[in-house]
Chains A and B, each alone.
Chain A
Amino acid sequence: MLTDALIAGLTLGGMYALLAMGLTLQYGVARIMNLSYGELLVSGAFAAHWLFTVAGIAPLAALLLVVPAAFALSWLIYRVLLTPLVRRAPNREALEVDTILATFGLLFVVQGVLLVMFGGAYYSYSFFAVPVHLPGATVAANRLLALGFAVVVGALLYLGLTRTRLGTAIRAVAVDPVAAQLVAIDVRVAAAFAFALGGGLVACGGVLVSMFLTFNANLGVVFTMKALIVVIMGGVGNLLGALIAGLILGLTETFVATWIDPGLTLAATYAIFLVTLLVRPQGLFGIGRR
């Protein structure tokens, strides 16, 4: 029973982490509080569903199509919609407010397009829903896969950001966009890259969760909320923080559901979130703002 709950909690947490990593890049590095984040995730899920049911392309192969497409689309969104806001914003706070409003509008545009294309009905398909027998527990292969992706993608991106030149440039932009220009970093390109990378990640999350979650065009906000909690809890802009915060939330929900009451999972999530904010307002792995 313990291993059962442990593994269920880890897979759920892996999914939460996967959902949140793109947002932590977009918000932490590109400084765009993207409220349409969940809609892009649902778009990824719809793309996977469509490719699978109409074209017969398996979701894992679909990743090769969907992720680059989402990267390109997010780049475009950044350059066309968000660059003017970045240019005219006098400071970080003003940019945050502006982007919240702009992406709030984008949320309805994306949702509207999805509603026109797919209607409001639920969508679901079965892929890789086979039991995997681990010692002491049985878990769905597709959920395990999502956990694996979260860990691998999280680790790769963490290494990429800390060990490469481009990664260092991106982090420099996150810390101080003005000073970054002084050392010849093209801030606009770095921020656009971070935003687009976040877009690719969220689409990747959408494709993976579509294998086991039932979704419709209206579900985006649910994912945005969850991702936001994970991002704030893990420390804005910190990928490992997102991974660990996601796992903590997943484990908490599963433990509470198993031993206390499934009705209290949401309460437990928010209790942990509150405690984190009280004790470490910058998040578990966040660096306090100077």
Chain B
Amino acid sequence: MASITRRMAVALLGGGLVAAGSAAAQDMKSVKIGYAISKTGPNAGGANVTQIPNYQLWVKEVNDKGGLMLSSLKRRVPIEIVEYDDRSNSEEAVRAFERLVTQDKVDLLFPPWGTGLNLAVGPVFNKYGYPQLAFTAVTDRAPDLGKRWPNSFWLLGTSAQYVDALVGLLTKMRADGKINDKIAMVSIADGFGIDLSKAAREGFTKAGFKLAYDKSYPIGTQDMSPLIGEAARSGADSFVAFSYPPDTIALTDQAKIASFAPKVMFLGVGVGFPLYPGRFGANTEGIMSLGGWSRDNKATAEYREKHKAMHKRDPDYWGSQVGYSSLQMLEQAIERVGKIDRPAIIKELQTGTFDTVLGKIKLRDNMLQEGYWLIGQWQDGFYTGVAPARPGAAPVIVPKPAWK
């Protein structure tokens, strides 16, 4: 019995090898793109809003055209997707990406969701020379990483960039006599909250602001009333929270319940999620956060409509448009190179100029330099970009209107 099993196994294995060999010899039937992303676990909420819908939308659009135009083959080649769940676990993500490269032999990779996982899989992308267009990672190490791993691109910038923009806005408001010099800040005790609050603490202090309240809270905190209560008692005109989506909603809810309406209300991830205006309606007016959207950009408006048609909901107003642009960049880079030549594609991404929904994009030091918003504010039901100062930037509404 054992010998038969073994013989069968050998036969199967041999057959498999032959099949694989002949497939490789055949002409390219598809461009295989692989990714592992958090479909389950704590990251799933973000991955499902900002990232996965973009992958699905872009792949569908390209395949509707017949695929990627590879001039070396003189025809379009459709995209085939290999997808894994990293279960929000960095070891799992590293294993999955290794597998995608070595077992599934994918031609290209899409990045995972979030700062932590993008940093974790960076070495794998680098080892095998795959371009990594990270668009849901914010890290102050982005400039160094771009140098150390030239194949990696950090499109959402550094925490210092966001903090500088916020400090700039607040400093101007203070100079205009609209807010006092006290700030109440809370942050989640996790990568994003720790990084941003650290940068903000330095930035605020340097600009002469006093942190009247400055605390972090653990993931999964289900009651925000002590935090809101203390922030309200601190006498600060500005409330800044580096929070994750469930806390962002809980903080807004609790501030409303406690009638705590600071003149400046800046909250973290989730303010730009479609869920947020759905939940708070007109009460979003004046609330600020990361990212932003251009009122007058027809391309992003079209993108939003396409996103809505496919997924029945709006994109996220921070990372989504950057993510979709990164996929457009990848598409154009591949088609300019004309074949799946990864070093050439990376080179093109580093040096080329691309037509995206955000406008013309040219990267410098593997990072986006302009064309996107750092700070946005809900104004009249639209999440408008307010900083940095560039064409289309709306003036900030301050003070935030009272809760309705």
* Residues of chain A at the chain B interface (Cβ within 8 Å): 1, 4-5, 8, 11-12, 15, 111, 115, 119-126, 129-131, 138-140, 143, 212-218, 222, 250, 253-254, 257-258, 261-263, 265-266
Contact = CB atoms under 8 A, between A and B. Distances in A.
Contacts of B256: 129, 131
Interface of B: 38-42, 44-45, 47-49, 88, 186, 189, 215-218, 220-223, 225-227, 229-230, 233, 245-246, 249-250, 253-254, 256-259, 270, 273, 275, 279-280
Contact of B45 (A121, A129, A138): A121
Nearest to B49: A121
B42 A218 contact: yes
A120 B85 CA distance: 12
The 3 nearest A-B residue pairs measured at CB: A120-B44, A257-B226, A214-B246
B45 to A, nearest CB: 4
A263 B216 contact: yes
Q: Kindly name the residue among B186, B216, B227, B258 whose own CB sees the greatest number of chain A CB atoms within 10 A.
A: B258
B185 to A, nearest CB: 12
17 contacts: A1-B233, A120-B39, A120-B44, A121-B44, A121-B48, A121-B275, A122-B275, A124-B279, A125-B279, A130-B257, A138-B258, A140-B253, A218-B45, A263-B189, A263-B215, A263-B216, A266-B218
A15 B227 CA distance: 18
Contacts of A140: 253-254, 257
Contacts of A111: 40
A266 to B, nearest CB: 5
A140 B44 CA distance: 28
B225 A126 contact: no
Contacts of A261: 215
A262 B223 contact: no
Nearest to B215: A262
Given A217-B44, A218-B40, A254-B226, A263 B259 contact: no
B246 A122 contact: yes
Contacts of A122: 45, 49, 245-246, 249, 270, 273, 275
Given A122-B245, A122-B275, A5 B220 contact: no
A266 B88 CA distance: 21
A130 B259 CA distance: 10
Nearest to A215: B246
B199 to A, nearest CB: 18
A217 B42 CA distance: 10
A131 B258 contact: yes
A139 B229 CA distance: 11
Contact of A213 (B216, B233, B246, B273): B246
Nearest to B218: A266
Contact of B250 (A125, A214, A218, A253): A214
Contact of A119 (B48, B186, B222): B48
Given A4-B225, A138-B259, A257-B223, 15 more contacts: A121-B275, A122-B275, A123-B275, A129-B253, A131-B257, A139-B257, A140-B257, A214-B250, A216-B48, A218-B45, A257-B226, A262-B216, A263-B217, A265-B218, A265-B221
A265 B221 CA distance: 8
Contacts of B257: 129-131, 138-140
B217 A124 contact: no
Contacts of B229: 1, 4-5, 8, 258
B259 A131 contact: yes
B117 to A, nearest CB: 15
A254 B225 contact: yes
Nearest to A133: B259
B233 to A, nearest CB: 7
A119 B253 CA distance: 24
A14 to B, nearest CB: 11
Contacts of A222: 220
B49 A258 contact: no
A276 B256 CA distance: 37
Contacts of A212: 250, 253
Q: Among B41, B48, B222, which residue has the most Cβ atoms of chain A within 10 A?
A: B222
A129 B254 CA distance: 9
Contacts of A253: 223
A266 B47 CA distance: 26
